[in-house]
Amino acid sequence: MTVAVIVFPGTNCEHDVVHALGVLGCHAELVWHKETDLAGASGVVLPGGFAHGDYLRTGAIARFSPVMTEVARLAELGRPVLGVCNGFQILCEAGLLPGALVANRSLRFICRPVHLRVESTGSVLTAAATIGDVLRIPLNSYQGGFVAPAPDLAALEEEGRVMLRYCDPDGAVTDTANPNGSTGAIAAIANPAGNVAGLMPHPERAVEAILGSSDGAVLLGSFVAAAVAVGVAP
Amino acid sequence: MHRNLGMTDDEYQAVTGILDRSPAPAELAMYSVMWSEHCSYKSSRVWLGRFPTTAPWVVVGPGENAGVVDLGDGWLAALRIESHNHPSFVEPYQGAATGVGGILRDIFTMGARPIALWDPIRFGPLDEPRNRYMLKGVVAGIAGYGNAVGVPTLGGEIEFASCYAGNPLVNVMALGLLRREQLVLSAASGEGNIALLLGAATGRDGIGGASILASASFDEESGAKRPSVQIGDPFEEKKLIEACLELYQRGVVVSIQDLGAAGISCAAAECAANGGMGMDVTLDAVHLREPGMTPAEILMSESQERMLAIVRPDDVAEVLALAEKWEIDASAIGTVTTGGTLRVFQEGTLVAAVPAASLTEDAPRYERPRRRPEWLDAVWADAPVLPEHVDVAEALRLLLDDPALGDRSWISEQYDHQLFLNTVVGPGHDGSLLRIKGTDKGLAVSTDGDGLRCRLDPHRGGARIVWEAALNVAVTGARPYAVVDNLNFGNPEKPEVMWQFVEAIEGMAQACQAMEVPVIGGNVSFYNETDGVDIHPTPVVGMLGFCDPMPPFPPRLDRAEEGMAVWLVGPETGSDFAGSAFARVVLGNEGGRPGDVDPEQGRRTIATAIELAGWSPVLHDVSAGGVAVALAEICIRSGVGVTVAEGDWRLLLDESPHRMLAVLPAEADPSGLATRRLGAMGGEALDFGLLGVLPLGEAAAIWRNALPRRLG
């Protein structure tokens, strides 16, 4: 069982994702963005960073990288696909998830731990979590404000596809606890099948207590369990 | 013409002597930049020899792109500090951004992956709109470049004083990690080897940056120097880092040099001279951003994100293929030759032919006159007058609101400080602590400077910052291991500035000797003056600490709990107020003579810190603001108050060196280590009894707002 961690020019969280998955007992390999065959991958992670320099618009060039056709095919097959931060932005640009990410309302980059409330367990990101749990996970982005057209937002809410919301340490969703101005304090969403998920915070930065929190393990652990279930022969 | 390039008549004569003829325009351009203060250290070099530079663990000392030390088990660390003061004043965002880019190239030139950055920065007071603009621009530039290039920024320090209004200081330090077999040096060898220029296209940006910007003073015309500032592209640099690291891994690079100040001239001359070789360079092969550039412009351009790699002819195809994979441009621009001459051709015409070593080694050296400033006696006489009684709570209200003492999150949250999953102790602590994955080893880092104290006494001030930096790494459990320094000073042609410079070096060197820590690299930034006003003498040290094994739970400021006891470690004098935060902020006094260091005590406190770091939840260096501010920081970060029974306010606010606070479980007995028990954690206030009570919520609000309320 191997998870493919996609590397675009400008990606920078790829080694961290491989390390964190390794801590959780999952083998992962770096895959260059020009690869066109991911048939052997039981799951795909699009890690954070600045793919293609974030030039033009975050994710706007990356969606045209050769590997993205294959990522879309695996998503269609129901294999777990996870986008973290820049990876989330790319999934939105590629149309695999609805909405877009815009500049933080402070117009400043934000790197600090935030609190997230689990809203649904219906995705490869949250299956092992418990609804109402509060997780403490680092955020690290300039364009982290989630927006979407009203019909998409309504569908996300009605179909229970909002996976995580920004909240305070006690789990209350408040405006002051919303770090970047995301609509509905949305931090993570999934597609209708739940196999494609994206989030702005970085769970790979929170799987070891010595780095400040291990709350990300339940999220990446959900993803790993889904990848194991796919059971593609290596 | 040579005067326009920043060269003196005597220096021009020296060039004529070396060449035995008048220099051609391209040659003059090369000498003017390579012999500039910035590149040649001509005013400082005679003094830099005072620093101790050897230790058994030093692999590469001063002189290469970065210093390198041995961490055991095949691991090496590379460390380098630089300044980008003048470019940042002219254009804050790009000046700071390209400073980050440049320092990273120095690190990966050595074969190391850059793993962390620190940015010590200094500005004029924030009540001036221009200084706020400078700070915001510099921080945005550091964040914009560092975050995107994918190297975390773990901290730095910040100071404010009016002398920095016309000349902000933007220093940047980078740390790299490598395996011993990956170490690469810059000496070109092997006749017939090919010089490949990798990375960005060469344009007209940054021409003469080193000689015109970095080696001269400012006046009101300085805005016209904006074209001398380079423009950075972190995406290009990121690709260049990954490409170079893969080249090293494949072993296809003989040597490599980054293109920084003086561009191709400097890189080619240093590669050739360090290897005792020469080089033929063909400018037609250089990939250019715009047509019609003259030879001098191509040679002097400081376009960013470029490297010069020396490659065996057989490996050229592999290197070019790798460059294509990483989507970076590469062109063969030169050939290594014997004979030691650097020859430059354009369209078949020889446009320059100079002895390569003359550019680097024959630069003039000046032992400039020195004179103790006449104003110093008056400044010493103006010592702070201490009141009989001070309400410590009231003093804390002012101190915690000072932008240099308040919460720095407004800045550090704009920096990615966690990438690579090494950050065990991050911004907001005395020192950063990084783990080395797959080992028990840890690297601690601190940067420290103290412009005001160094103005009052450069010798003592210089010594104090080294001791403070050492204690800052020791409280994470690391022993001081290596130092880099960035010497920011005024105009060296003024004898008073040279006196400050040499005094500071002596003070720093003595401190390094006393703790047996080698200096492995440094940088000198002179001409930090605007309209004839020099900055405070501001040496900045970067201290690398090393621990193996790392403490299982290294001390942090936020781990104090109700019921724990607070202990003071180190001497109590109650008398060191010259240059203190209390004198500056509360009394409005910036005079007097600061106390001296005590090497014996310094070593003892450091040893105690390393021992206590193994089991103390909180260890905190006592520095600006004394015991009172150190306590407030622990209380605010931990969310718990403290009760201190102390009759003398002086003991809570003075800043004598070599001291720290330890917060320990109530039952712990640190006798023999700690000086005395100050009080107990608990409650909702900083309770100093008769000396005042400050509610914790109020203290936290003041501290957290110190920067945001000024910056918005």
**Contact yes or no for A50 and B421 at CB 8 A:** no
- Predicted confidence at residue B216, as pLDDT, reads 62
Per-residue pLDDT reduced to its tens digit, A213-225: 999 999 999 999 9
Q: What stretches of B312-429 adopt beta strand conformation (E)?
A: 330-337, 341-346, 349-355, 423-425
Q: What's the confidence (pLDDT) of residue B214?
A: 58
Residues on chain A touching B101 (C-beta within 8 angstroms): none
CA distance from start to end of chain A: 6
Question: Does residue B467 have a pLDDT over 50?
Answer: yes
Distances (CA, A) of A70 to A40, A41, A74, B327: 11, 11, 6, 22
For the CA atoms of B696, B698, B703, B706, what is the dihedral angle to 10 degrees? 180
Q: Over 70: is that where the pLDDT of B226 sits?
A: no
Share of chain A above pLDDT 70, in %: 98
Is the CB of A140 less than 8 angstroms away from the CB of B416?
yes
B228 pLDDT band, cuts 50/70/90, is: low
CB–CB of B309/B109 below 8 Å? no
pLDDT tens for B115-140 read 999 999 999 999 999 999 999 999 99
- Inform me whether the pLDDT recorded for B218 exceeds 70: no
Examine the pLDDT at B261 and tell me if it is beyond 90. Answer: no
| Residue B596 DSSP label | P
* C-beta atoms of B424 and A211 within 8 A: yes
Q: Does B409 touch chain A (CB under 8 A)?
A: yes
Contact of A33 with chain B, judged by CB distance below 8 Å, is answered with no
CB contact under 8 A, A109 and B415: yes
Torsion of CA B175, B180, B185, B188, to 10 degrees: -160
Q: Is B243 on the interface with A (CB under 8 A)?
A: no
Question: pLDDT class for A10, splitting at 50, 70, 90?
Answer: very high
Q: Do B418 and A111 touch (CB under 8 A)?
A: yes
Per-residue model confidence (pLDDT) at position B219: 62
Query: Which residues on chain A are in Cβ contact (under 8 Å) with B236?
Result: 53
User: Which value, in Å, is the radius of gyration of the alpha carbons in chain A?
Assistant: 16
pLDDT for residue B211 is more than 70: no
Omega prior to B129 cis, within 30 of 0: no
Amino acid letter, A22 = G
- Among B282, B265, B349, B293, CA closest to B31: B265
Rounded mean pLDDT, B404-424: 97
Q: With bands split at pLDDT 50, 70 and 90, how would you rate the model's confidence at B215? A: low
A211 CB near a chain B CB, below 8 Å? yes
Question: Which residues of chain A have a CB within 8 Å of the CB of B235?
Answer: 9-10, 50, 52-55
Task: Indicate the residue type of B383.
Answer: A
Q: Which residues pair with residue A45 across a beta bridge?
A: A5, A82
pLDDT at position B361 is 87
Chain B residues whose beta carbon lies within 8 Å of the beta carbon of residue A205: 418, 421
Structure tokens at B704: 């957290």
pLDDT tens digits along A107-159:
999 999 999 999 999 999 999 999 999 999 999 999 999 999 999 999 999 99
How high is the mean pLDDT of chain B? 94
pLDDT-derived band at B573, boundaries 50, 70, 90: confident
Mean pLDDT of A70-94: 97
Query: Does residue B664 contact residue B634 with C-beta atoms inside 8 Å?
Result: no
Residue B195 pLDDT > 80: yes
When pLDDT is cut at 50, 70 and 90, the band that residue B220 belongs to is low
Neighboring chain A residues of B231 at a CB cutoff of 8 Å: none
Return the structure tokens found at A82: 């996870």
In a 13 Å sphere around the CA of B450, the CA atoms on its Cβ side amount to 30
**In Å, how far from its chain's centre is CA B673?**
33
What's the rounded Cα separation, in Å, for the pair B215 and B489? 12
Checking if the pLDDT of B223 tops 70, the result is: no
Among A9, A49, A54, the residue with its CB nearest the CB of B327 is: A9
* Encoded tokens for B108: 């990966």
Give per-residue pLDDT as tens, A21-52: 999 999 999 999 999 999 999 999 999 999 99
Between CA B636 and CA A23 the distance in angstroms is: 33
pLDDT value of position B538? 98
* Most B CBs within 10 Å, among A65, A107, A109, to test the B interface: A109
A234 pLDDT tier (thresholds 50, 70, 90): very low
> In this predicted complex, what is the ipTM?
0.95
Q: Which residue of B has its CA nearest to A137?
A: B418
- Find chain A residues with C-beta within 8 A of B238's C-beta: 9-10, 12, 50, 53
Confirm or reject contact between A111 and chain B (CB < 8 A).
yes
Active site residues of A: 85, 202, 204
Give per-residue pLDDT as tens, B424-453. 999 999 999 999 999 999 999 999 999 999
pLDDT of res. B532: 87
Q: What is the pLDDT of residues B167-177, one digit of tens each?
A: 999 999 999 99
pLDDT at residue number A3: 97
Q: Which two tokens stand for residue A183?
A: 């609509």
Residue B353 clears pLDDT 80, i.e. is over it:
yes
pLDDT tens string B269-287: 888 988 899 999 999 999 9
Q: Is A110 touching B (CB cutoff 8 A)? A: yes
Adjacency order of strands within the sheet including B306-311? B255-258, B306-311, B194-199, B330-337, B278-282, B341-346, B349-355
CA nearest to A212 within chain B? B424
pLDDT recorded at residue B262: 79
The residue with tokens 């003492």 is: B405
Look at A25-34, B35-44, B549-558 and tell me which has the smallest mean pLDDT. Answer: B35-44
Could you report the per-residue pLDDT of B601-625, keeping only the tens digit for each? 999 999 999 999 999 999 999 999 9
Of B414, B419, B424, the CB nearest to A108: B414
User: If you average pLDDT over residues B23-37, what whole number do you get?
Assistant: 89
Cβ–Cβ below 8 Å for A111 and B417: yes
pLDDT the model gives residue B33: 86
Query: What pLDDT, on a 0 to 100 scale, did the predictor assign at position B69?
Result: 98
What percent of chain B has pLDDT above 90? 83
Cα A195–A201–A205 angle (5° rounding)? 100
Q: What is the pLDDT of residue B204?
A: 86
Please compute the mean of the pLDDT values over residues B536-553 and round it to a whole number: 97
Residue that has been written with the tokens 């089991």 in this structure? B615
